[in-house]
Amino acid sequence: MGFAVYYGCVMDTQIIQADSGKYLPGEIKRIVRILIDDGVVVYPTDTFYGLGVNCFSPEAIGKAYRLKKRNPAKPMSVVIAHRNMLPSVVNDIPHLFESLASVFWPGPLTLVLRANPSVPAVLLGSQDTIGVRLPDHAWVRELVNAAGFPVTATSANLTGDVEISDPLEAIRVFQGKVDCIVNGGMTRGGLSSTIVDLTAKKPRILRQGAIPASHLEEFWT
pLDDT over threshold 50, residue 6: no
Q: Is the peptide bond before 150 cis (omega within 30 degrees of 0)?
A: no
Average pLDDT in the 124-139 region?
Answer: 95
Q: Which residues of 69-104 are buried (b: 16+ CB within 10 A; e: fewer)?
A: ebeeeebbbbbbbeeebbebbbbebeeebeebbeeb
pLDDT tens sequence across 159-200: 999 999 999 999 999 999 999 999 999 999 999 999 999 998
Chain-centre distance of CA 220, in angstroms?
A: 27
pLDDT band at 19 (very low <50, low <70, confident <90, very high): low
Beta pairing class for 41-44 and 180-183: parallel
Report the pLDDT value the prediction gives residue 162, as an integer from 0 to 100. Answer: 96
pTM of the model: 0.92
Distance in angstroms (rounded) separating the CA atoms of residues 70 and 73:
8
Domains defined for the chain, CATH in brackets = 2-217 (3.90.870.10)
Asked if 138 contacts 28 with a C-beta cutoff of 8 angstroms, the reply is: no
Residue 85 DSSP symbol: G
pLDDT over threshold 90, residue 111: yes
pLDDT tens sequence across 53-97: 999 999 999 999 999 999 999 999 999 999 999 999 999 899 999
Distance in angstroms (rounded) separating the CA atoms of residues 221 and 216:
9
Q: Which residues pair with 195 in a beta bridge?
A: 110, 207
Q: Element (H or E) spanning 3, and its range?
A: strand 2-6
